[in-house]
Amino acid sequence: MGCNGCRFARRLLYSLASRRAGCSGTLAYKLALLHGIDDVIELRVLQWQARLGEAVELDDLLVELETHKVVVEMRAERAGFLRCILHEEGSWYKVGSVLAILTDGPDDPLPDDVYALPDYGAVIEIV
């Protein structure tokens, strides 16, 4: 949102991490902000647009976040299923914390240690 309905967006790196889950060849991902917004150490979850257990497609809006100054939209970097939400709407969380887990399939196994998943670059928009 902006003056006269114009939308100002700045692209930054986000983290959507991936890992092979067991021998099945399926992928699991962690959704986490690792860096990218100067002087921000905490964000608040405004609203989850994706629903738990439902499929998401490339570029779908997953969640809206806010800092003390801006609103941040986080979009899906690939198709998958939102399997676990670790921070509910209204909660504040620290940069680097895992927000959610996504998998390729609706019944794919979830990893025991979400923080052990390797990082994978994705894109966010600040509006």
Q: How many domains does the chain have?
A: 1
Most confident of the ranges 4-13, 29-38, 81-90: 81-90
- Segment 66-99, tens digit of pLDDT: 988 889 899 888 888 999 999 999 999 988 888 9
Task: Print the domain residue range for 32.
Answer: 7-126
User: Does the structure show a pLDDT above 60 at 11?
Assistant: no
13 falls within a domain: yes
User: Does the structure show a pLDDT above 50 at 8?
Assistant: no
Whole-angstrom Cα distance, residue 32 to residue 25?
Answer: 23
Q: What is the CATH number of the domain that holds 22?
A: 2.40.50.100
SS (H, E, C) 94-121: ECCCEEEEEECCCCCCCCCCHHHCCCCE
35 falls within a domain: yes
- Segment 53-63, tens digit of pLDDT: 999 998 999 99
